[in-house]
Structure 1
Amino acid sequence: MEDYTIGREAVAAKRRRYFYPCTQHFYRNAPQIVQGEMQYLYDENGKKYTDFFAGVSVVACGHCNPAITSATIAQLQRLQHTTTIYLTQPNVDLAERLAEILPGNLRRSFFVNSGSEANEGAMLLARRHTGRKGFIALESGLHGRTNLTMSVTGLPMWRTDPYLDPDVRFIRRPYDPELGSEEAAARSLADLERVLAEHGDSIAAMIAEPIQGNGGMIMPHESYFREAAELLRRHGALLIFDEIQTGFGRTGRMFAMEHFGVVPDIVSMAKALGNGVPVAAFAASDEVAASLNSPSASTFGGNPVSAITALAVLDYMADQRLPERAERLGAKLKEGLAGLKERYPGLIRDVRGAGLMLGAELGGAEAGEAAELTDEVLERMKDRGFIIGKNGTGRNVLAFQPPLILAEADIQDMLKTLDSVLAELA
């Protein structure tokens, strides 16, 4: 443990010296995190934090969950690495398990290492299947940091490549605080219909998060994706769901697509599937997957350690009924946040999301004030032992995406502490 407790100042100094300047952290006084145990984190001084961010929706089953890490360690000691050019059982068992839990006819999986890579593969598959190059994406979506995934990302702060793919057309997302959800959905669908009418013969697919995470926890009207899927089908374009943040119980369903009753042509998955171990995949039906038929491989994708870990994750989620737990605890958290919105209407503008993927949008009287307020809330909550996130187009949405195994008492303690912080800032 001593090797990893050099202290926050020394860690920060090494980051400044050896990391690229794009790598940043949330806090003015950031702790050095040295240990995790289920829903708790510990810094170099032994201070305990209740984690309400889960490494951006990753450790859904909790930090260092022994039911999962024991399987990982055993596989590390048995067989650490092969590639897909050899036969091993863990990755075919994982593919079989995903076929069992994925909705509809999504049956074939290609394993990779990260969400960006999964989305890149999904878009490659869409191009090969349709013979078309273009994509449609929603404003304020986030899909990755590779060239093509960054090209379909609609958040300006994440579009850092100056030479992005030009064959991407953005439409307004189905959300506007000035409109009702049905009207905002109708406006976005009108945009989609217009783009398809003008460019439909060149569009391979539309890619979208069922619930936008970094865009501010935006959940569209329940009819939106059904109508979008029908419009795409008429023009021979595919629908790709990016379930990287929303998948595996986070929203109160195993996959967020289940809230909308829509099965996409392709789905991408990552984050919670490995509970901290890198594993990702994109899945499709037999018909669509058949188009990815040229020789291909992934050096690390579906390696034995990642696959066994993911199987242990899925076992644990099923045994502990984590999607149902997320739905139940998420309702309590959302109710509590809504109560704080009533108490502090000048600070909290909106509470939204599903399951344990919730956001509380903060407001300020002047431009930039809301983002500064959000940073101050994060700092004070951290000082009181709670780690929460932030997102949104204005970086002013408090993000609550905790491990799904947290206790109701953790929620009540966090809400009580947030109440006191907001009272100080009101």
Structure 2
Amino acid sequence: MSGSLGPLSWGYVRRFGRVVFRQQQWKSTVSTHPKMPPCDFVPEKYKSYPYEHIQKIREQNISPSLRMYYKKPLLLHQGHMQWLFDYEGRRYLDLFAGIVTISVGHCHPKVTVATQKQLARLWHTTNIYMHPSIHEYAEKLASLFPDPLKVVFLTNSGSEANDLAMFMARLHTHNFDIISFRGSYHGCSPYTLGLTSIGPYKHGVANGFGCSTVQTGFGRTGSHFWGFQTHDVVPDIVTLAKGIGNGFPMAAVVTTKEIANSLAQNLHFNTFGGSPLACVVGAAVLDAIEEDGLQKNSRDVGTYMLLELAKLRDKFEIVGDVRGKGLMIGVEMVTDKHSRHPLPAEEINQIWEDCKDMGVLLGRGGLYNQTFRIKPPMCITKKDVDFAVEVFHTALQRHMERAAK
């Protein structure tokens, strides 16, 4: 079937050798890796343990429940904005942002400087004393919420924030049943596991009675600062984590004065929540979002990425859907668009590995782990998107070549 194809042979290919014809077309397009956009940041030289020693420590001293991505797990060394660098200096475009946690960029200069100044001033003191940073941050955060959501509880993690939100809701209403979405993740604490409905997180023991930190906050959806605003509702309680600290361990619950007073009948205390350091980090993140125009960037670049990925959906039968808003995008992989059966795990894994090998890190999600999660730092550019889409395109082409053999 070499050479040009006339009408008769083209008809034959369409009926009996469609995949072979596609393979012919693709062979010349996947021989080289897509070119990565330039980056003027030079990482420090890695000087810690060798890769093999790190693996050994992981096997012997780190909790076995902590699973790793990829056949050969990444050993990361340094980060800069939307980029990550491994121990050998290889650069990766981070489209998963530390599980949607790096909001303004890895080691963002403004956040780093603010953190360094506070480290030299005061790390921690009990929050039963007053210090300026918690009050400045609470005022700044509350100003971004509509009335009557004006009372802030600061915690250390999203799971803890969800725990507190559930507790306050039950305390205020004297009701105990809580509804959560199918396939939802709300945390791994004993309390939040009662709401989390993803099989691998269940351990076969009773959880709490049977609110997620909605990753949709801090401008990531582009059109609004908070995800709930896109639905024209004002909730009674909102939990915040993930991008709130750009990777620093902090979270928050924002609610009304009336609901907050329900908790004030007795003592509620958090040792580290609202520390001077955490509040300075949180405030610097809010400043960076505003000063760098990251909500607008999420809207503009996110829309551009959705449209570019939609072209792949139209071209490849295994791309079942491309959906999202702003810089929260999911690409659903299927066997075919008619049945919409999930693409087998081994095939998804290979596409995922190919993207990593070409320098793009993707997340995974969905009921059958069949959806690629794309939630990059909000500083990503259109040139980065072009590179990422080209990498994904190449990985899909390689998958079709393998399937044709």
What TM-score do you get using the length of structure 2 for normalisation? Answer: 0.84
- Helix, strand or coil: the match of 2:347? helix
The corresponding residue for 1:418 is: 392
SS of the aligned residue for 1:323 comes to helix
Q: In structure 2, what is the Cα distance between the partners aligned to 1:28 and 1:340?
A: 26
Q: Which residue of structure 2 lines up, in the alignment, with residue 319 of structure 1?
A: 291
Q: Aligned with 1:291: secondary structure?
A: helix
* C-alpha distance in 2 between matches for 1:5 and 1:418: 32
Q: Does 1:407 align with 2:381?
A: yes
Answering whether residue 277 of structure 2 is matched by residue 305 of structure 1, we say yes
Give the whole-Å Cα distance in 1 for the aligned partners of 2:386 and 2:226: 26
Residue in 1 that maps onto 2:252: 281
Distance 1:364 1:4, change over 3 A: farther
Deviation at 1:5, TM superposition (A): 3.4
Q: Which amino acid aligns with 1:86?
A: Y
Work out the CA distance in 2 between the residues paired with 1:121 and 1:12.
Answer: 37
User: What is the aligned counterpart of 1:143 among 183, 186, 191?
Assistant: 186
Cα contact 1:4–1:34 (8 A) shared by 2: no
2:172 is aligned, of 125, 129, 134, to 129
Task: Report if aligned partners of 1:246, 1:256 keep a CA contact under 8 Å in 2.
Answer: yes
3-state SS of the aligned residue for 1:142? coil
Sequence identity of aligned pairs in percent? 34
How far off is 1:363 after superposition?
1.4
C-alpha distance in structure 2 between counterparts of 1:88 and 1:334, whole Å: 44
Q: Gapped runs of 5+ residues in structure 1?
A: 169-206, 210-241
Alignment of 1:8-407 (within 5 A): 8-160=51-203, 162-165=205-208, 167-168=209-210, 207=211, 209=212, 242-243=213-214, 245-252=215-222, 253-293=224-264, 294-345=266-317, 347-364=318-335, 369-407=343-381
Displacement of 1:368: 7.2
SS in 1 for 2:235: coil
Length-normalised TM-score, structure 1: 0.80
Q: Tell me which residue corresponds to 2:37.
A: none
Q: From the CA coordinates, give the structure whose radius of gyration is larger.
A: 2
Whether the aligned pair in 1 keeps the contact of 2:334 and 2:342 (CA below 8 Å) is: no
Q: Distance in 1 between matches of 2:287 and 2:63?
A: 38
Query: For the residues of structure 1 that align with 2:228 and 2:252, how far apart are their CA atoms?
Result: 16
**Residues in 2 aligned to 1:376 and 1:74: alpha-carbon distance in whole angstroms:** 45
Shift of 1:10: 2.3
Higher strand residue share? 1
Pairwise CA distance, 1:373: 2.2
CA deviation string 1:161-187 (max 9, x = no partner): 51112x32xxxxxxxxxxxxxxxxxxx
* 1:83–1:301 CA contact under 8 A, matched in 2: no
- Output the CA distance in 2 between the equivalents of 1:160 and 1:109: 33
Give the Cα–Cα distance (whole angstroms) in 2 for the partners of residues 34 and 41 of structure 1: 8
Alignment partners' CA distance in 2, 1:249 and 1:370: 34
Q: Deviations over 1:182-202 (max 9, x none)?
A: xxxxxxxxxxxxxxxxxxxxx
TM-aligned CA distance change 1:380 to 1:282, over 3 Å: same
* 1:269 aligned partner, one-letter code: L
CA RMSD of aligned residues (A): 1.7
What runs of 5+ residues in structure 2 fail to find an aligned partner?
A: 1-43, 401-405
Aligned residues: 352
Cα pair 2:46 2:88 within 8 Å, conserved: no
- Alpha-carbon offset, residue 47 of structure 1: 0.6
Give the SS at the match of 1:398: strand
Contact 1:71–1:312 under 8 Å retained in 2: yes
Tell me if the contact between 1:374 and 1:390 (Cα under 8 Å) persists in the aligned partners: no
CA 1:3–1:415 in 2, change beyond 3 Å: closer, same or farther?
Answer: closer
Return the alpha-carbon distance in structure 2 between the equivalents of residues 2 and 22 of structure 1: 31
- Give, in angstroms, the shift of residue 369 of structure 1: 4.5
Contact 1:257–1:263 (CA under 8 A) maintained in structure 2: yes
Contact 1:351 1:360 in 2 (8 A): yes
3-state SS of the aligned residue for 1:164?
Answer: coil
- Mapped contact 1:142–1:153 kept (Cα < 8 A): yes
Q: Confirm or deny: 8 A CA contact 2:168 2:260 kept in the other structure.
A: yes
Instruction: Work out the CA distance in 1 between the residues paired with 2:322 and 2:389.
Output: 14
Native 8 Å contact 2:46 2:77 kept in 1:
no
